[in-house]
Structure 1
Amino acid sequence: MAGPASFAGPIGNPVTIATDRYAAILGASPSKGARSPLLWNAAFRAAGIDAVMHPMDVTAGDLPAVVAALKADQRFVGGAVAVPHKQALVSLLDRVEPEAARIGAVNAIYRDGGALVGANTDGAGALSQIEELVGGANALMTRRALVLGLGGAGLAVAAFLAGRVTELTVANRSRATAGAVAAKLGTLVADWPVGADVTSKVDLVVNATSVGHKDGPAGSPLDEAALAALPASAAVYDVIYQPEVTALLAAAAARGLATRNGLGMNLDQAVIAFGKAVPGALDMDAVRAAMRAA
């Protein structure tokens, strides 16, 4: 291979490619602490592959040029997609898997010859965690769920919950976005901010907004009254894992509600995505073990 060289695309952080192959996570600022490189690099080491996942800070305007540079470099095997690019990336790839097309967002990329393919593993990763939180798939079927936020992760979670719960309500700052998703998935729509009149009728809340993230708006997406209205049997799941205990989860736990953060989802979606980018390198149990130990 050629010697180490700076990545050719217009990114906001320095990246030097010095391995036979490499992966990347594309987002607004993954260089500030995204967990995916830690997980993928552990799996690369376990598989004996000379590869590294690099965080790449990409603006919306530079995204097309970065994707073109990745496609042109055969060393690029694939990787992950973080906010805010999960939806915008769909139109820049050669094709997307059917599930990702239905959701309208991708969180994973992999190479297929000269083509870059998009996939969405967020929903599958979240579903397994939510099922564990509430006591299994059968228990989930009895729940009335509320999904807050309909960006890439929220869309994926809503798509995977639709048909797997008794009733699903979606809420988003943009009512038009929420209405479009509801029409597509056959769900109910709640106004934003969500009030106690809605939360009193649900027993599973999923936060897929950035509210409470270390780099996002402070506080909780549910105010005190809305949280207090949740029944004692309710469960609260937050896709955020930085910090591990968000304001929402802390308030829910103080009420005695079952809670879980997004660490497990982050692991599960990464396991699935790694398998698409480097098929056959390791079986999924080995990938999960390597990533869990990272």
Structure 2
Amino acid sequence: MQDFLDNDPNITTSKYAVILGLTPSRGARSPLLWNAAFKAACIDAAMVPMDVTPANLAGLVAALKADKRYIGGAVAVPHKQAIAALLDRLEPEAERIGAVNAIYRDGDDLVGANTDGAGALSQIEDALPDLASRKAVLIGLGGAGIAVAAYLAGAVKELAVANRTEAKAKEAAIRLGDNVSSVPLPLTTEQLSDCGVLVNCTTAGYQDGPAGTPLGAEADTLITALPSDALVYDIIYQPLETELLGKAAARGLKTRNGLGMNLDQAVIAFQKANPGALTIDRVRDAMRNAG
């Protein structure tokens, strides 16, 4: 297994979970959350980060499947879409989205699930009780973006999706429902003037990603175009306040980062990999208190 990795996870427990990504060893929060839940459930297990390149992903997944100590875990960028073809089967929601952010073992099979969208939607609904009457604009249709868009489409009046590759946005709009349309980038003030929820699912502003915002050079003007009661939601939580959220907060808009989404998607994923270990409330409490 080590031949496929760019880090040394140092597994010492009888069971283990994994967060797979390009560089999760540099600060992914999932191990902190999962390990708190393992401790609360008195399970001799730990989640470890595994840094793996796209070229080594297939080999690593095969090695994990062969190791009965592996119970599942999380999937981070950039593997959420590519890993779907390497698993034995997908849950229906993950298959519809075309991306996986959680894995669990079912006998000899590795099963892919997607909990990103559910976690994000719970946070947005908490901030906006009138979400059903609002128009949303979502930027970025990678693995997490597609998942959030799929859940958000069923909860808002209208959803417009935008992506650096416009063809991908058009394809997603067709797949996601009649109330979903695609819009090109860069966005315009007209598109945001009646937008009640602006969602960033790109890596713009991430601490190890590109600087700036997904709105480009006209970010200040576009933020000003949003209604005064709009929510700006960013799935990034490293840092806790991205440049996008900082600009929105300076204008007095509601903002949420991805920390709550990260918690809720982890709670759901933990339960899939550890059925019956703890109630969902106890998992959430353990993870929330992990810091």
1:54-73 correspondence runs (5 A): 54-73=48-67
Match of 1:173 in 2: 164
In structure 2, what is the Cα distance between the partners aligned to 1:38 and 1:15?
14
Matched, 1:26 2:20: yes
Give the structure 2 partner of residue 216 of structure 1.
209
Distance 1:162 1:124, change over 3 A: same
Deviation of 1:14 after TM superposition, in Å, equals 0.9
**Which residue identity does 1:206 align to in structure 2?**
V
Q: Which residue of 2 aligns with 1:248?
A: 244
Q: Distance in 1 between matches of 2:122 and 2:116?
A: 10
Q: Runs of at least 4 residues of structure 1 off by over 6 A?
A: none
Output aligned runs, 1:19-168, within 5 Å: 19-135=13-129, 139-168=130-159
- Structure 2 SS opposite 1:243: coil
Deviation at 1:163, TM superposition (A): 2.5
Aligned CA-pair RMSD: 0.9
1:199 aligned to 2:188? no
3-state secondary structure, aligned to 1:61: helix
Q: Using the TM superposition, give the Cα deviation of residue 9 of structure 1 relative to its aligned residue in structure 2, in angstroms.
A: 5.0
CA distance in 2, matches of 1:203, 1:221: 17
User: Distance in 1 between the 2:214 and 2:2 partners?
Assistant: 39
Find 1:235's aligned residue among 220, 231, 237: 231
Q: Which amino acid aligns with 2:11?
A: I
TM-score (norm 2): 0.96
Confirm or deny: 8 A CA contact 1:9 1:69 kept in the other structure. Answer: no
Residue 289 (structure 2) pairs with residue 293 (structure 1): yes
Q: CA deviation at 1:233?
A: 1.4
**Which consecutive unaligned segments of at least 5 residues does structure 2 have?**
none
SS of the aligned residue for 1:25 comes to: strand
1:215 is paired with a residue whose SS is coil
Instruction: Percent identity, please.
Output: 63
Distance in 2 between the 1:283 and 1:68 partners?
31
Aligned positions, number:
285
Q: Is the 8 A contact 1:195 1:225 kept in 2?
A: no
Contact 2:2–2:8, Cα closer than 8 Å, also in 1: no
TM-score of the pair, normalised by structure 1: 0.95
Shifted more, 99-108 versus 157-166: the winner is 157-166
- Whole-Å separation in 2 of the counterparts to 1:9 and 1:79: 20
- Give the distance between the partners of 2:3 and 2:256, measured in 1 at CA: 37
Select between 266-275 and 9-18 the one with higher mean Cα deviation: 9-18
Runs of 5+ consecutive residues of structure 1 not aligned to the other structure:
1-6
